[in-house]
Amino acid sequence: MQSAPLIDDGVHTAYKRLIPSHADFPVPGIDFKDLAPLFADGEQFAATCDGLCERLEGVAVDFDAVLAVESRGFVVGAPIASRLRRGLIMVRKPGKLPGATDKFGYTCEYGSGTMEVREGAVVPGSSYLVLDDVLATGGTARAVADHVARMGGVVAGYCFLVELSFLDGRARLGDAPVVSLIVY
């Protein structure tokens, strides 16, 4: 089941004004969406988190923990997990977590690499909300979902602050609900 993106109304337009684009960053051809001004505005950031929680209600609230992807996914994932009274599992770049980790690869619109979660963080039979800042081609979220499946868990849904709909990342995410707040 795919949920519809937020309709472009006045509130949506206000969000977009707080998210400037930077052409050719981090590599040529990428139009980077800078979320820092939105995060810096306390009222708008709170409204953003409220909006995501509202969009999740009735769509993807039956999950045990949020899997938040480094690094801007942490900024949004922590308040969402807290407000919904769920655990937060950080999906990190290599070498950022102490102790034993589970490693898995990903490919996104501007490269590929490896991510890690704490070993045993994804529990067989548990369900997870995969959360990242931006849904572009869907490669990162798909890699997290594939890791969850390999570990015996279930992806209950996906959550993104921004969706670049013209890249059709939703198509890679399967049947789990997808919640996005701001859509380009």
Output the pLDDT for position 4. Answer: 44
Say what the pTM is: 0.90
| Count of structural domains, the chain | 1
Q: Which domain holds residue 150?
A: 10-183
160: CATH: 3.40.50.2020
> How confident is the model at residue 92, as a pLDDT?
96
Stretch among 1-10, 97-106, 108-117, 144-153 having the lowest mean pLDDT: 1-10
Domain-embedded: residue 70 = yes
Residue 62 lies in a domain: yes
Q: Give domain status of residue 102, yes or no.
A: yes
Cα torsion at 10, 12, 18, 20 (round to 10°)?
-120
Identify whether 5 is part of a domain.
Answer: no
Within-domain flag for 57: yes
User: Does a structural domain hold residue 2?
Assistant: no
Mean pLDDT, rounded, of the chain: 90
- C-alpha torsion angle, residues 68, 74, 80, 85 (rounded to 10): 70
Is residue 2 pLDDT above 70, yes or no?
no
At 7 the pLDDT is 42
Please check whether residue 36 lies inside any domain of the structure.
Answer: yes
- Residue pLDDT, tens place only, 17-43: 899 999 999 889 888 999 999 999 999
